[in-house]
Amino acid sequence: KAGVTQTPRYLIKTRGQQVTLSCSPISGHRSVSWYQQTPGQGLQFLFEYFSETQRNKGNFPGRFSGRQFSNSRSEMNVSTLELGDSALYLCASSLGGQGDLPPFNEQFFGPGTRLTVL
């Protein structure tokens, strides 16, 4: 089974621009989560989509948005880029069901998109 794929792997943008990142989950997984990883803040949760609906959201400004398509593929968008948005953006997929048995929210990660804002 193919793993989680993310495109592009590397991006260089300038301040003020916007960017769209793409994530294709593992086949059969309906939940996609996005994370930002920086040296200073570590791994921070951005949002989670399940069945085309945002189910959870982290503490990020509205410049960060996302969506999920009917085939579970997801995109995240960052508008009006700032220098501080430079980071590794990781996407993770999971089955996403609400079953009663653990493990809860076992997620599988993609290789990430390295965004550099100049």
**Site for other proteins, rule CB under 8 A:** 4, 31, 33, 42-43, 45, 48, 50, 55-56, 58, 90, 92, 94, 96, 98, 101-112, 114
Nearer to other proteins among residue 16 and residue 61 (C-beta): 61
Give least dist CB 111 to other proteins, A.
4
DSSP type of residue 55: E
List b or e across 43-55, with b for residues whose CB sees 16 or more CB atoms inside 10 angstroms. Answer: eeebbbbbeeeee
CB of 62 to other proteins, least distance (A): 19
- Comparing CA positions, the residue from 36, 35, 74 lying closest to residue 53 is 74
